[in-house]
Amino acid sequence: MSIISDSLKRIKPSPTIAVTQKARELRVAGKDVIGLGAGEPDFDTPDNIKNAAIRAIKKGDTKYTAVDGTPALKKAVIGKFRRENKLKYSLDQITVGTGGKQVLYNAFMATLNKGDEVIIPAPFWVSYPDMVLLAGGKPKIVKCTEKEGFKLTPKKLKKAISKKTKWVILNSPSNPTGAGYLKKEIQDLAKVLARNKKIYILSDDIYEHVRYDNFNFFTIAQISKLKDRTLTMNGVSKSYAMTGWRIGYAAGPKDIIKAIGKIQSQSTSNPSSISQAAAVEALNGNQGFIKKRSNAFKQRRDFVVKSLNRIKGISCLKPNGAFYVFPSCKGLLNKKTKLKTDTDFVKKLLEKENVAVVQGSAFGLDGYFRISYATSMKNLKKAMSRIKSFCESLE
């Protein structure tokens, strides 16, 4: 009899982490690999944030903190929501975790019973379904087409809802597509959800500040009457280039926040005290660099989208947020190329041209692949040239 639990057998390792690890291994082996798989800004954490961490170390702020975040960080989070989203919360409506990923995991573990359904629009961040499965729930995948801008429509949402639906996940701007929901699109979804009073909404806003072309960001709790049924998750990893610091946070109903704290008390306990001190400075300090870095990402996005759309067999929508593109490779999946799936495409691309991307099927939509352009223009130029050469070699 296997010692491994049945719940663990239901899930698979993160495909994006697997691609990043494979790229690392190939580099160690001497290969000139360009990794476009990691969802991580290539910018450094700003100095004022680093200095706040150093001050915390020197002051001796190296002990346990409250399980779900220091009062100082919770107050900074409250200030952020009030300042940027016009949302008011109290301390007991805020939770802080070891990254946004833990906050989401805790939320599902704290609320899902066996058979509870979670509506997940596809393409989706790879971890959503597996976290639901680990918590005993059932992912209900709703495929959102390229024609729909890879976004959930009210019609599809209404059709997906059942008596077992407990959560609906909204991620804007999105990983992996970069698609952002317009104000009216969110409000139209909110109208459907308003009629189903037992359903909760999980709004993943981690890419809130990475947006382009005057795209106006709105979160559903801000522009609907669903605040009392919404858990709004965010963090410092993407906007502040603090992926390794591992700080995520959320605001929501008191009973859910309390339950999340209970889960966390028996798992990691508090997030790093030093990281929390740094996150306070991130949220309260100078925000000017965010726009500058988004402008740099925009230049990269424009270059990548333009380059991809010049390649025969590839087509790519221009996203309005995050730092990903989600191009179609369907035009190259045929008998002539001997490529049957997007997995075949990304595997051969890595083997022949040493460019690491992630297959679209990992995100719930076949025939596509994800590129992270959170890397230098030098790397992107080399990568686009290699992708072009690879695609041309298939003809």
What would the pLDDT profile of 105-128 be if each residue is shown by its tens digit?
999 999 999 999 999 999 999 999
Scanning the structure block, which residue is given the tokens 């352009």?
Answer: 373
pLDDT of residue 27: 81
Q: Are 144 and 120 in contact (CB under 8 A)?
A: no
Please choose, from the candidates 35, 131, 95, 132, the residue with its C-alpha nearest in 3D space to the C-alpha of residue 353. 35
- Of the candidates 182, 148, 146, which has an alpha carbon nearest to the alpha carbon of residue 360? 146
Which residue from 216, 209, 372 is spatially nearest to 290, judged by alpha carbons? 209
Within 8 A by CB and 6+ apart from 280, the residues are 52, 70, 72, 73, 76
Phi, then psi, of 312 in degrees rounded to 5:
-65, 130
Q: What is the pLDDT of residues 326-377, one digit of tens each?
A: 999 999 999 999 999 999 999 999 989 999 999 999 999 999 999 999 999 9
pLDDT value at residue 123: 98
The CATH fold assigned to 6-44+289-393 is Aspartate Aminotransferase, domain 1 (3.90.1150)
Q: What is the pLDDT of residue 290?
A: 97
Nearest to 66 by CA among 284, 281, 257: 257
142 vs 38: CA distance, rounded Å:
25
Q: How far is CA 260 from the centre of its chain?
A: 20
For 270, the token pair is 């508090």
Helix or strand (DSSP H, E) at 85: helix 71-85
In the prediction, which pLDDT does 381 show? 98
Instruction: Write down the pTM of the prediction.
Output: 0.96
**Residue ranges covered by each domain of the chain:** 6-44+289-393, 62-284
| Residue closest to 177 by CA, chosen among 375, 342, 323 | 323
DSSP string covering 1-37, please? --SS-HHHHT----HHHHHHHHHHHHHHTT---EE--
Residue 311 confidence (pLDDT): 98
- Residue 324 has phi, psi (to 5 degrees) of -130, 155
113-119: Cβ within 8 A, 24+ apart: 113/137, 115/164, 116/164, 116/165, 116/166, 116/167, 117/162, 117/164, 117/165, 117/166, 118/165, 118/166, 118/167, 118/168, 118/169, 119/157, 119/160, 119/161, 119/165, 119/167, 119/168, 119/169
Which residue matches tokens 């858990």? 231
Predicted local confidence at residue 3, as pLDDT? 85
Q: How buried is residue 13: exposed, middle or buried, by Cβ count under 10 Å (0-12/13-18/19+)? A: exposed
Give the residue from 190, 249, 201 showing the smallest Cα distance to 228: 201
Nearest to 394 by CA among 344, 326, 360: 344
Length reported for the chain? 395
- Which residue positions in the chain have pLDDT lower than 50? none
Name the phi and psi angles at 142, rounded to 5.
Answer: -115, 110
Q: How far apart are CA 87 and CA 205, in angstroms?
A: 14
Which secondary-structure segment (H or E) carries 165? strand 165-171
- Which CATH architecture group holds 62-284? 3-Layer(aba) Sandwich (3.40)
